Each structure stands twice: as C-alpha cells, then as structure tokens.
Structure 1
C-alpha cells in the first residue's frame, strides 16, 4: 500500500510502518510501498514499539508517522559511524 491508502484506512492515528520500496531524491527519502506494523492512539506507544523492533532488527527501514500528514517528509541523515 502507499501513504495515501494507509491514511484513508487509519485516519488521525499514529502508525508504525516499514518501507517495502523506497528511494532517495535530493536528501529526502521517498517511500513508494508501505507495510503497516501497527497503529496507535499515542505517539509514545508507536515509538516504544519502534525501539523494540529496531533493537533486534536494525536493518529494517521503519518509520513512525501520524496519518494527519498529507505527505511523508523524511529527511535523510548521513551517519559518520562515530558515537560520542
């Protein structure tokens, strides 16, 4: 499914989803296909589940967003692989 379809099925909710197909363009991540993992009334619950999944499967492209947003605005960050 795409973002518009997800928004129509789950209006005004927080969602945790995985990007099944995505590409980069001018420093932004554009998600073409989405797999819904879960929906939530509270954003903190979505973030908590995100953390649990990301800890065990860090290679999955997971996102948390609210379906009131008409477009996903995902800005890519470049990591230097240095943690302080």
Structure 2
C-alpha cells in the first residue's frame, strides 16, 4: 500500500507498519510501500509498539507526508588502553 493511501485511511494517528519497498537516497531510507499491521490508538501504545518492533516493522505517524528515515552508521567503540603503574 502506498503511504498516501495509509494517510487517507488513518488520518492523524500512529500506525504499525511493515516495510515492503524502499530505496536509499544519500543517508536516508525512503519507504515507498508498506503493509499496515494495525492502527495505534494513543501515544503510550505507540511507544510500546515502537520498542517491540523488529526487522522491517516500525511505527510512524500519518501527519508526515513521506516516510523518510535517517540512517546512521554505528559509531566505532573506542577504549582507552589501561596503563599499568
């Protein structure tokens, strides 16, 4: 389903989605097609679903015109060498 269709069906609310089709543009993931898993009624439920989401599932609000997610690479972990006294 296209994002515009989701926005028409579920205006001004959070929805749990599964990514079906997307592409990378610069450092952003642009999602073109999604499957609606379920609409979410309130902010608390949205947070719960967001933290439980795995793989291609995510929570997004239909007030956004497009689904664009900034992709960040994991920073390298640096450790200070321990010095012996």
Q: How many residues align?
A: 77
1:75 to 47, 70, 76: 70
2:15 and 2:60 in contact (8 A); partners too: yes
Q: Which residue of 1 aligns with 2:42?
A: 42
Which runs of 4 or more aligned residues in structure 1 lie more than 3 Å from their structure 2 counterparts after TM superposition?
Answer: none
Segments of 5+ residues of structure 1 without an aligned counterpart are 55-59
TM, length-normalised to structure 2 = 0.76
Higher helix proportion:
1
**TM-score under structure 1 length normalisation:** 0.77
Q: 2: CA distance between counterparts of 1:74 and 1:53? A: 15
Residues 53 and 64 of structure 1: CA distance in aligned 2, closer, same or farther (over 3 Å): closer
Shift of 1:53: 4.0
| Alpha-carbon distance in structure 2 between the residues aligned to 1:20 and 1:49 | 19
Alignment RMSD (CA, Å): 1.7
How many angstroms apart in 1 are the aligned matches of 2:41 and 2:50? 15
Distance 1:9 1:81, change over 3 A: farther
What stretches of structure 2 of length at least 5 have no aligned partner? 78-85
**In 2: Cα distance, 1:43 partner to 1:81 partner:** 33
